[in-house]
Structure 1
Amino acid sequence: MKHPDWYPAWRQEAIEQLNAKNRGLQDDFGVGSWPRYDYDLKTGKLLFSDQVVVKVVAEIQVAGSTSGKGGNWLWAWGNSNLPGDVVTDAQRVRSFGEKNGIDELTQLFVTDDNDLTVLGWELAAVMARICNARGVYRSPRGEGGGLYLTIKSISRAN
Structure 2
Amino acid sequence: MSVRREATKPGWYPAWRDEAIEQLNVKNAGLQRDFHLGTWARYDYDLTAGKLLFSEKGVVKVVAKIQIAGSTSTKASNWLWAWSNSNLPGDILSDAKLVRSFGEENGIDELAQAYVADAGNDLEALGWELTAAMVRICNAPGAYRSPRGDGGGLYLILKTIDWAN
The TM tier, using the shorter chain, reads over 0.9
Which residue pairs with 2:91 in the alignment? Answer: 85
> Following the alignment from structure 1 to structure 2, what is the Cα–Cα distance between the partners of residues 123 and 112?
12
Runs (4 or more) in structure 1 with deviation over 4 Å come to none
- Gaps of at least 5 residues in structure 2 are 1-6
Q: 1:119 & 1:32 partners in 2: Cα distance?
A: 20
2: CA distance between counterparts of 1:15 and 1:46? 22
Letter in 2 for 1:20: V
Return 5+ residue gaps in structure 1 as ranges.
none
Aligned residues: 158
Quote the residue 2:65 is aligned against. 59
Aligned to 1:17: 23
Counterparts of residues 1-158 of structure 1 (less than 5 Å):
1-113=7-119, 114-158=121-165
Whichever of the two has the greater Rg, that structure is 2
Distance in structure 2 (CA, Å) of the matches to 1:33 and 1:138: 14
Equivalent AA in structure 1 for residue 154 of structure 2:
L
Q: Once the two structures are aligned, what percentage of the paired residues are identical? A: 70
Q: 1:51: Cα distance to partner?
A: 3.3
TM-score (norm 2): 0.95
- Per the TM alignment, residue 32 of structure 1 is displaced from its structure 2 partner at its CA by 1.1
Q: Following TM superposition, by how much is the alpha carbon of 1:124 offset from its aligned partner in structure 2, in angstroms?
A: 0.2
> Per-residue displacement from partner, 1:42-62 (whole Å, max 9, x unpaired)?
000000000300000000000
Cα distance in 1, alignment partners of residues 96 and 105 from structure 2? 14
Aligned residue in 1 for 2:4: none
- Structure 2 CA distance, aligned partners of 1:95 and 1:54? 36
Structure 1 residues 18-27 or 106-115, which shifts more?
A: 106-115
